Amino acid sequence: MSQQAVSAPLARSAPGRVKLSEAPQSSWAKARERLGWLMVAPSVIIVSLVALYPLAQSVRLSFTNARLASGREEEYRGLTNYRFLLENNDFIAAFWNTVQFTIGSVFFETILGMVIALIINSNFSGRGLLRTAILVPWAIPTVVSSRLWGLMLTDRGVFNDLLQYRLPQLVDWIPGIGGSLAGIFPSPGNPIAFISDPNLAMPAVIGVDVWKTTPFMALLILAGLQIIPGDIYEASTVDGASKWQQFWQMTLPMVRPALLVALIFRTLDAFRVFDVIFVLRGPALDTQTLAIFAQQTLINGDRLGRASAASVLIFLCIAVLVFVYTRMVKVEEA
Amino acid sequence: MATIAGSRPRTAAAPLARRRPFSLGRFANRTIFYLLVAFIFVYTLFPFYWAIISSLRPDGDILRVPTTYWPDNLYLDHYRYVFNNGEFLRALRNSTVISLSTVLLALITGAASAYAMGRMRFRGRTIILYLILSMTMFPQIAILGSLFQVIRRLGLYDTIPALIFSYTTFTLPFTVWVLSNFFKAMPGELEESALVDGSTPFQAFYKILLPLALPGLVTTGLLAFIAAWNEFLFALTFTRAGGARTVQPTIASFTGNSQYEYPWGSIMAASVVVTVPLVLMVLIFQRKILGGLTAGAVKG
């Protein structure tokens, strides 16, 4: 803020009035170049302070035994932190949890996002309403969404109500096979512990994340779908192509650039996941991700050096992901 | 069917298909399609509906199985509790101040930089643009510890400015990106006319081009507000409960008034309170938000 206040008067005092008799371009151009610098200066200062300097510090601290609380001098410890992490079972488990979570949530939200985007893109009354409706999960804060799904997935929550009472009643009504179908649901009084069962916890958090982030995926894919000209479909329908063929041979290749951008955004986001899991399950080991591990090491363990090393490793993983994806985009363009 | 179509000129196939009277296959397709649409409506909207319903029930009724799926009660005690809870009210005020200031900071610094990036040629321009954009790539967690240290050394721990400044790590790149595309698309004559009128380059910016970028400012402002309002990790780490803490970590650690049971009713009431403004905002400005969200995808 203060930088801006400084830059404004400076900019005004720059050689301002241009007389038409002079060659105006040059002085105006010079003033503009100076103004350009002044205008980016606030952003550059803030970025350096809150991002670049901390990032460099993270790297430096990762080689030390620094702590947050104590005032003692930090000592250089070489690769000790990295060695510790790579031999630490919790860290390795956190890595695989993160990979599982990323693959699971990105996979399901891509498929679901594609289905929703295709539906909104097709011609039916109510498509505008549907597009508005999917903005609701997007707008709901992640913490709220986690708490809300936590309530719905408890032993006595609405999902167990559906599974134990409503759905069996519903399928029982189907003539013939209904009775045996109803048998596959848990009987009343035997709820499924979605959140506390270690085998179901990861699928549950993935489910919650998919609900919250599918709209973003759907909207990005929809933007890609809307720039495909409609007449190519008419032409291929005339040529006898089925809807299925049209999807695989026309829609998918043409929406690929938008899909790829959406995938990049979502993969990077999923890989650094913290809030959705932390609110639902805290630092429980079976769903602990790398970001939760690093945060716990910093706050509860007070190991700034080790937490920084974990952060640097997360950063490296993300850099690799970005590299792979940008290669894919380049291949795409070539 | 295929042989009939094959014997006719191909262009006849489309009108032929449209005139087809009733077919069970097509009827089933339509039904499945609308069932799918109905399912997506329920999937996206039911959870928030359930939050509202639950917030209006006494705690004993919230976890009743079998339950009812319609509002059978108008129990307002949870809202009464939430609006009399000092910690929650404080968090609500903090979140409002922080989110609005984040928007202001992002728009002022972002618009200035975006204008320079979008319309001026100066050395180092590309490097700075990449620098700002690369911030979207690195995760919040990568700077959590060191930023914590910076904040403590500046004496900003548990203060509102600490969050406002750290939130620029995710609001600024986005703002600069969207707005610089906005400025780039404006015709060059606008500035030339400003030059003829004898105004300085800065006057040309804030008197002529900035007002024209208003739609972009609204879009990026809305997205920055939502991002700041929903942020959790920095707020949890850099603030204390009862201090500068915002609503998200407060709701995440809500204990409510009951010691023996999980206070689901108050949690849901608080959740509804912090979500309703966002949902209303999104519904009112949906076109702007859709445009902003997809700006990166279509251009990129």
When comparing pLDDT for B135 and A253, which is higher?
A253
Do B181 and B42 sit in the same domain of this protein?
no
What residue ranges do the domains of chain A occupy?
2-6+24-61, 88-146+202-333
Q: From first to last of its 334 residues, what are the pLDDT tens digits of chain A? A: 333 333 333 333 334 444 443 444 567 777 777 888 889 999 999 988 888 999 999 999 999 999 887 667 788 989 999 999 999 999 999 999 999 999 999 999 999 999 999 999 988 888 899 999 999 999 999 999 999 999 999 888 999 998 888 888 888 777 777 677 777 788 888 888 898 898 999 999 999 999 999 999 999 999 889 888 888 888 888 888 888 888 888 888 889 888 988 898 899 999 999 999 999 999 999 999 999 999 999 998 889 999 999 999 999 999 899 888 888 877 666 5
Give every CB contact of residue A58 below 8 A, 6+ residues apart in sequence: A308, A311, A312, A315, B142, B143, B145, B146
Q: What's the token pair of residue A228? A: 């495909």
Q: Judge whether residue B151 has pLDDT over 90.
A: yes
Nearest CA in chain A to B225: A139
Do B38 and B131 sit in the same domain of this protein?
no
Q: What average pLDDT does the segment B56-67 reach?
A: 87
Q: Report whether B2 contacts B17 (CB < 8 A).
A: no
User: B121-138 b/e with 16+ CB inside 10 Å = b?
Assistant: ebeebeebbebbeebeeb
Q: Report whether A116 contacts B221 (CB < 8 A).
A: no
Give every CB contact of residue A192 below 8 A, 6+ residues apart in sequence: A159, A160, A163, A186, A200
What is the per-residue pLDDT for B240?
Answer: 93
Instruction: For residue A187, give the nearest of A212, A201, A213, A167 by alpha carbon.
Output: A167
Chain A residues whose beta carbon lies within 8 Å of the beta carbon of residue B13: 237-238, 240
Contact A164 B65 (CB under 8 A): yes
Do B41 and B134 sit in the same domain of this protein?
no
Domain boundary among B51, B76, B101: B76
What is the per-residue pLDDT for B117?
Answer: 86
What is the per-residue pLDDT for A25?
Answer: 57
- The ipTM (two decimal places) reads 0.85
Q: Decide if A213 touches B, using CB distance below 8 A.
A: no
- What's the domain count of chain B? 2
Chain A residues whose beta carbon lies within 8 Å of the beta carbon of residue B176: 43
Q: Judge whether residue B112 has pLDDT over 50.
A: yes
What radius of gyration, in Å, describes the C-alpha atoms of chain B? 27
User: CATH number for the domain including B221?
Assistant: 1.10.3720.10
Chain A residues whose beta carbon lies within 8 Å of the beta carbon of residue B65: 156, 160-161, 164-165, 188, 191
- The reply to whether omega before B66 is within 30° of 0 (cis) is yes
What radius of gyration, in Å, describes the C-alpha atoms of chain A? 27
Do B39 and B90 sit in the same domain of this protein?
no
Min Cα–Cα distance to chain A from B97, Å: 15
Domain boundary among B53, B76, B99: B76
Per-residue model confidence as pLDDT tens digits over B178-192: 888 888 888 878 777
Do B138 and B249 sit in the same domain of this protein?
yes
What is the per-residue pLDDT for B256?
Answer: 53
Do B111 and B56 sit in the same domain of this protein?
no
pLDDT band at B6 (very low <50, low <70, confident <90, very high): very low
Q: Decide if A301 touches B, using CB distance below 8 A.
A: no
User: B95 is in which domain, residue-wise?
Assistant: 86-255
Domain boundary among B57, B76, B95: B76
Do B202 and B53 sit in the same domain of this protein?
no
Q: Return the SS3 of A64.
A: strand
When comparing pLDDT for A147 and B300, which is higher?
A147
Chain A residues whose beta carbon lies within 8 Å of the beta carbon of residue B202: 8, 11-12, 14, 35
What is the per-residue pLDDT for B108?
Answer: 94
Between positions 133 and 192 of A, the ones with CB within 8 A of B are 133-149, 151-152, 154, 156-158, 160-161, 164-166, 188, 191
Do B144 and B62 sit in the same domain of this protein?
no
Chain B residues whose beta carbon lies within 8 Å of the beta carbon of residue A149: 47
The answer to the question of residue B8 being in a domain is no
Q: Decide if A43 touches B, using CB distance below 8 A.
A: yes
Per-residue model confidence as pLDDT tens digits over B191-214: 778 778 888 878 888 888 888 888
Do B139 and B49 sit in the same domain of this protein?
no
Do B71 and B94 sit in the same domain of this protein?
no
Q: Judge whether residue B15 has pLDDT over 80.
A: no
CB atoms under 10 Å from CB of A260, counted, come to: 19
The answer to the question of residue B5 being in a domain is no
Instruction: For residue B101, give the nearest of B229, B196, B216, B256 by alpha carbon.
Output: B229
Fold for the domain defined by A88-146+202-333: MetI-like fold (1.10.3720)
Q: Judge whether residue B106 has pLDDT over 90.
A: yes
Between positions 69 and 108 of A, the ones with CB within 8 A of B are none
Q: Report whether B242 contacts B89 (CB < 8 A).
A: no
Chain A residues whose beta carbon lies within 8 Å of the beta carbon of residue B268: 147-148, 151
Q: Return the SS3 of A76.
A: strand
- Pairwise CA distance, residues A172 & A175, whole Å: 8
Do B108 and B250 sit in the same domain of this protein?
yes
The answer to the question of residue B16 being in a domain is no
The answer to the question of residue B104 being in a domain is yes
